[in-house]
Amino acid sequence: MSEESTRYSRVAAGFRSRLDAVPENRWDAPSPCDEWSARAVVAHSALVHRNVASMVRPELRQGTVHDDPPTAWHQASDLVAAALDDSGLSGVEVQTRAGHMSFAELVATLLCADTLVHTWDLARATGLDEGLDPEAVAAAYAYLAPRGEQMRVPGGFGPEVDPPPGADPQTRFLCFTGRRP
Protein backbone atom coordinates (compact mmCIF):
# COMPACT_ATOMS: atom_id res chain seq x y z
CA MET A 1 0.00 0.00 0.00
CA SER A 2 1.17 3.51 -0.75
CA GLU A 3 1.56 6.13 1.97
CA GLU A 4 -1.55 7.87 0.65
CA SER A 5 -3.56 4.66 0.66
CA THR A 6 -2.42 3.81 4.19
CA ARG A 7 -3.38 7.27 5.48
CA TYR A 8 -6.77 7.16 3.80
CA SER A 9 -7.41 3.66 5.11
CA ARG A 10 -6.76 4.79 8.71
CA VAL A 11 -8.87 7.94 8.38
CA ALA A 12 -11.75 6.13 6.67
CA ALA A 13 -11.65 3.40 9.33
CA GLY A 14 -12.04 6.10 12.00
CA PHE A 15 -15.11 7.53 10.31
CA ARG A 16 -16.49 4.06 9.62
CA SER A 17 -16.16 3.01 13.27
CA ARG A 18 -18.23 6.01 14.40
CA LEU A 19 -20.71 5.61 11.56
CA ASP A 20 -21.32 1.96 12.37
CA ALA A 21 -21.80 2.77 16.07
CA VAL A 22 -24.33 5.61 15.79
CA PRO A 23 -27.23 4.84 18.14
CA GLU A 24 -30.56 4.75 16.30
CA ASN A 25 -31.91 7.61 18.42
CA ARG A 26 -28.98 9.94 17.53
CA TRP A 27 -29.26 10.20 13.73
CA ASP A 28 -31.21 13.46 13.95
CA ALA A 29 -29.03 14.94 16.70
CA PRO A 30 -27.54 18.35 15.84
CA SER A 31 -23.89 18.37 14.81
CA PRO A 32 -21.28 21.11 15.18
CA CYS A 33 -22.00 21.98 11.51
CA ASP A 34 -24.66 24.69 11.44
CA GLU A 35 -28.08 23.26 10.65
CA TRP A 36 -26.74 19.73 10.02
CA SER A 37 -27.80 16.62 11.88
CA ALA A 38 -25.57 13.57 12.30
CA ARG A 39 -27.35 12.09 9.27
CA ALA A 40 -26.59 15.23 7.21
CA VAL A 41 -22.89 15.01 8.13
CA VAL A 42 -22.78 11.44 6.83
CA ALA A 43 -24.70 12.36 3.66
CA HIS A 44 -22.31 15.26 3.03
CA SER A 45 -19.26 13.06 3.54
CA ALA A 46 -20.71 10.40 1.23
CA LEU A 47 -21.30 13.02 -1.46
CA VAL A 48 -17.79 14.45 -1.07
CA HIS A 49 -16.29 10.95 -1.35
CA ARG A 50 -18.37 10.20 -4.44
CA ASN A 51 -17.37 13.52 -6.02
CA VAL A 52 -13.70 12.82 -5.35
CA ALA A 53 -13.96 9.33 -6.87
CA SER A 54 -15.73 10.81 -9.91
CA MET A 55 -12.65 12.92 -10.64
CA VAL A 56 -10.98 9.78 -11.97
CA ARG A 57 -14.14 7.77 -12.72
CA PRO A 58 -16.42 10.25 -14.56
CA GLU A 59 -19.27 7.73 -14.85
CA LEU A 60 -19.84 8.22 -11.10
CA ARG A 61 -21.00 11.80 -11.68
CA GLN A 62 -24.45 10.48 -12.59
CA GLY A 63 -24.99 8.87 -9.18
CA THR A 64 -26.55 10.44 -6.14
CA VAL A 65 -26.53 9.89 -2.41
CA HIS A 66 -29.76 8.09 -1.70
CA ASP A 67 -31.94 8.00 1.41
CA ASP A 68 -29.50 5.75 3.26
CA PRO A 69 -26.42 7.92 3.98
CA PRO A 70 -24.53 5.18 5.89
CA THR A 71 -24.75 2.79 2.93
CA ALA A 72 -23.92 5.62 0.53
CA TRP A 73 -20.84 6.50 2.60
CA HIS A 74 -19.61 2.89 2.67
CA GLN A 75 -20.05 2.60 -1.10
CA ALA A 76 -18.37 5.94 -1.83
CA SER A 77 -15.47 5.19 0.52
CA ASP A 78 -14.97 1.85 -1.23
CA LEU A 79 -14.91 3.66 -4.60
CA VAL A 80 -12.22 6.06 -3.35
CA ALA A 81 -10.14 3.22 -1.89
CA ALA A 82 -10.39 1.20 -5.12
CA ALA A 83 -9.33 4.19 -7.24
CA LEU A 84 -6.48 4.93 -4.86
CA ASP A 85 -5.23 1.36 -5.14
CA ASP A 86 -5.42 1.42 -8.96
CA SER A 87 -2.05 2.64 -10.25
CA GLY A 88 -3.73 3.81 -13.45
CA LEU A 89 -6.03 6.13 -11.48
CA SER A 90 -4.05 7.16 -8.39
CA GLY A 91 -1.52 9.17 -10.39
CA VAL A 92 -4.08 10.99 -12.55
CA GLU A 93 -3.70 14.76 -12.14
CA VAL A 94 -6.87 16.51 -10.97
CA GLN A 95 -7.82 20.15 -10.41
CA THR A 96 -8.77 21.13 -6.84
CA ARG A 97 -9.28 24.37 -4.97
CA ALA A 98 -5.69 23.92 -3.79
CA GLY A 99 -4.40 23.58 -7.37
CA HIS A 100 -3.38 20.63 -9.54
CA MET A 101 -2.33 17.43 -7.79
CA SER A 102 -2.50 13.70 -8.26
CA PHE A 103 -5.65 11.88 -7.23
CA ALA A 104 -3.61 10.11 -4.52
CA GLU A 105 -2.41 13.45 -3.13
CA LEU A 106 -5.96 14.84 -3.17
CA VAL A 107 -7.18 11.87 -1.15
CA ALA A 108 -4.27 11.95 1.30
CA THR A 109 -4.57 15.68 1.93
CA LEU A 110 -7.93 17.34 1.33
CA LEU A 111 -10.20 14.30 1.53
CA CYS A 112 -8.47 12.96 4.63
CA ALA A 113 -8.69 16.39 6.30
CA ASP A 114 -12.38 16.71 5.44
CA THR A 115 -13.07 13.18 6.68
CA LEU A 116 -11.19 13.79 9.94
CA VAL A 117 -13.20 16.93 10.67
CA HIS A 118 -16.47 15.17 9.90
CA THR A 119 -15.44 12.17 12.00
CA TRP A 120 -15.25 14.56 14.93
CA ASP A 121 -18.54 16.24 13.94
CA LEU A 122 -20.29 12.87 13.81
CA ALA A 123 -18.78 11.74 17.09
CA ARG A 124 -19.73 15.00 18.82
CA ALA A 125 -23.30 14.80 17.51
CA THR A 126 -23.78 11.20 18.56
CA GLY A 127 -21.85 11.01 21.82
CA LEU A 128 -19.15 8.70 20.45
CA ASP A 129 -15.36 8.76 20.87
CA GLU A 130 -14.07 12.12 19.58
CA GLY A 131 -10.41 11.07 19.43
CA LEU A 132 -8.85 11.28 15.96
CA ASP A 133 -5.80 9.52 14.53
CA PRO A 134 -2.90 11.71 15.78
CA GLU A 135 -0.66 11.09 12.75
CA ALA A 136 -3.48 11.92 10.36
CA VAL A 137 -4.33 15.07 12.33
CA ALA A 138 -0.68 16.19 12.20
CA ALA A 139 -0.48 15.56 8.44
CA ALA A 140 -3.80 17.30 7.74
CA TYR A 141 -2.90 20.32 9.84
CA ALA A 142 0.58 20.60 8.29
CA TYR A 143 -0.96 20.55 4.82
CA LEU A 144 -3.87 22.91 5.53
CA ALA A 145 -2.22 25.51 7.78
CA PRO A 146 -0.46 27.39 4.96
CA ARG A 147 -3.63 27.16 2.83
CA GLY A 148 -6.11 28.47 5.39
CA GLU A 149 -7.54 31.25 3.29
CA GLN A 150 -8.04 28.91 0.29
CA MET A 151 -10.13 26.67 2.54
CA ARG A 152 -12.30 29.46 4.02
CA VAL A 153 -14.77 29.72 1.17
CA PRO A 154 -18.42 28.71 0.89
CA GLY A 155 -18.48 24.94 1.29
CA GLY A 156 -15.10 25.01 3.02
CA PHE A 157 -14.00 25.69 6.57
CA GLY A 158 -15.46 28.38 8.78
CA PRO A 159 -13.48 31.16 10.45
CA GLU A 160 -10.60 29.98 12.60
CA VAL A 161 -11.30 29.79 16.35
CA ASP A 162 -8.59 30.65 18.88
CA PRO A 163 -7.59 27.43 20.63
CA PRO A 164 -7.36 27.47 24.42
CA PRO A 165 -3.88 27.88 25.94
CA GLY A 166 -1.98 24.60 25.95
CA ALA A 167 -4.37 22.98 23.47
CA ASP A 168 -3.39 19.58 22.14
CA PRO A 169 -2.77 19.07 18.38
CA GLN A 170 -6.29 17.74 17.71
CA THR A 171 -7.88 20.75 19.41
CA ARG A 172 -5.63 23.16 17.47
CA PHE A 173 -6.55 21.39 14.22
CA LEU A 174 -10.28 21.51 14.95
CA CYS A 175 -10.11 25.18 15.95
CA PHE A 176 -8.25 25.89 12.70
CA THR A 177 -11.22 24.40 10.82
CA GLY A 178 -13.69 26.60 12.71
CA ARG A 179 -14.80 24.02 15.28
CA ARG A 180 -15.19 24.66 19.00
CA PRO A 181 -14.08 21.43 20.71
Q: What is the pTM of this model?
A: 0.94
- Higher-scoring residue by pLDDT: 14, 64: 14
pLDDT at 156: 73
Q: How many CB atoms lie within 10 A of CB 163?
A: 17
> What count of Cα atoms within 13 Å lies in the side-chain half-sphere of residue 127?
7
If we measure between CA atoms, which residue out of 94, 105, 116 comes closest to residue 45? Answer: 116
Domain map of the chain by residue range?
A: 3-132
pLDDT at 135: 96
Q: Are 76 and 53 in contact (CB under 8 A)?
A: yes
Instruction: Determine the Cα angle at 19 with ends 14 and 25, to 5°.
Output: 145
In this predicted model, what pLDDT tens digit does every residue of 112-137 receive, in sequence order? 999 999 999 999 999 999 999 999 99
Q: Are 39 and 28 in contact (CB under 8 A)?
A: yes
In this predicted model, what pLDDT tens digit does every residue of 57-88 receive, in sequence order? 998 876 666 678 999 999 999 999 999 999 99
Q: Among 17-31, 62-76, 91-105, which range has the highest average pLDDT?
A: 17-31
Asked if residue 49 has pLDDT above 70, the reply is yes
Asked if residue 151 has pLDDT above 90, the reply is no
Homologous superfamily, domain 3-132: dinb family like domain (1.20.120.450)
- Higher-scoring residue by pLDDT: 59, 27: 27
Type of residue at 21: A
Average pLDDT over residues 173-177: 96
Query: For the chain, what is the mean pLDDT?
Result: 93
